[in-house]
Structure 1
Amino acid sequence: MSDGGLKAVFLAQRPMLLRLLVARLGNRDDAEDALQDMWLRIDQLAEQPIAQPAAFLYRVAANLATDRRIAAGRRGARDAGWVEVQPRAEDVPDAERTLVARSEWQAVEDAIGEMPERMATALRMFRIEERPQRAIAEHLGISVSGVEKLLQRAYRKIQERLESVGGDSADAHRLDSERGSDRAG
């Protein structure tokens, strides 16, 4: 059967092919898209003889429906995987929190910049480098008690700076509670 003959059989069988595809795919829009794909495939067939054109068209329709269901499943799994790795809305800071955090960070940087060198060094070594107070004392040539006092004064200066820029009282409370835990180390 020629290409033109296959198209004629397709046009004659189109309502039944559409019903088959709707049943397999679950909705009319996807079935119409599959029929369009079938028409394009038929267009690509070059003068190949087909003994049973109606059976051939139903097999093509069934295969297209299967391919589309598999692709939809993969697409759904991929999209679900993408959604799972995206941050939740509450995990992303809003503009106001970002501005407040920048302002507070600048206040902390300014406070550290105004500290005496030994105080700033002790604070950086303890908070950033996470060195124990004993190692800081050895490095600065002072006692552990002296390191504790430097850290207390550094925290106080940071707290005062945060309060002066309208910092959150929760930050001040956190600094107070950290001051108490600084003695261990």
Structure 2
Amino acid sequence: MGVASLEEVFQEYRDLLFAVAYRMLGTAADAEDAVQDAWLRWSAADRSDVEDPRAYLVRITTNLALDRLRSAQVQRETYVGPWLPEPMLTSPDVAEEAELAESVSMAMLVVLETLSPLERAVFLLKEVFGFPYAEIAQALDRSEAAVRQVGTRARKHVEARRPRFAIDPRERRTVTDRFVDAALGGDLNKLMEVLAPDVALWTDGGGKVKAARRVIYGADKVARWVAGVTGRPYAGVQPEDMRIRSADINGVPGIVVDGPERPICTITVDVDERGRVAAVHVVANPDKLRAITANSELPM
């Protein structure tokens, strides 16, 4: 296999490798680093016995991501406030593919954070990317029986925290816009109408901009917090200098709030089966807005 064909094979699967690494790690920068390390391993390895480059590259990337995730989990224990994944833009047609969109939604990635690194890897490779347990076992250097057990445990954990029901993308956009309109109007009654009683508000400022230090639960508390920050300066930007635009973020309709020089935050909402806002995810940590600033689109 020549140098040119080496690069061609890697580039063929690069988007897949990034998609795996991003779902494992939750940040674009870490995913990019894992993919770059995978290239270094691939270009230096003895590939004479590699029959399936796709499986081989996914194996390398998954294990690199596992190592990074174990280190990241220690760092996240000291993170200031709730930790949310780094938002990324997605193409509008992704929202039409429900399972694909769900696999990168903020709500799903938050649930995946509650799995062990091994559970996360097995769940993603099996449930999202469709690898058979035999290949996953080989990739993770575990027995197939052990991997099946881990996969079953992970799937039950996710299903218990992430019930499945279909929400039409157009309805999700409508609910998102209703929430934003109510928030901008500072109308507590309208906010209460669109929020589910047990709604959860996640605000990730990373200690760098104003954000709630804990997840806020309950429609009344969430409505009051949202009304309290709307119409006020944020991250050094005056309200009149803010611009709001619609964007598809992590597979769902979302909102980007821009300042004069850069995005200030992203907002996505999770919708329950009754068309109410079940969760709000606000990412305002400037370190996590680099992909949005660069208009980087998440390969699926």
| TM-score, reference length from structure 1 | 0.37
**Higher-helix-fraction structure:** 1
Q: Which structure has the higher relative contact order (CA within 8 Å, separation 6+)?
A: 2
**Higher-strand-fraction structure:** 2
| TM-score, reference length from structure 2 | 0.24
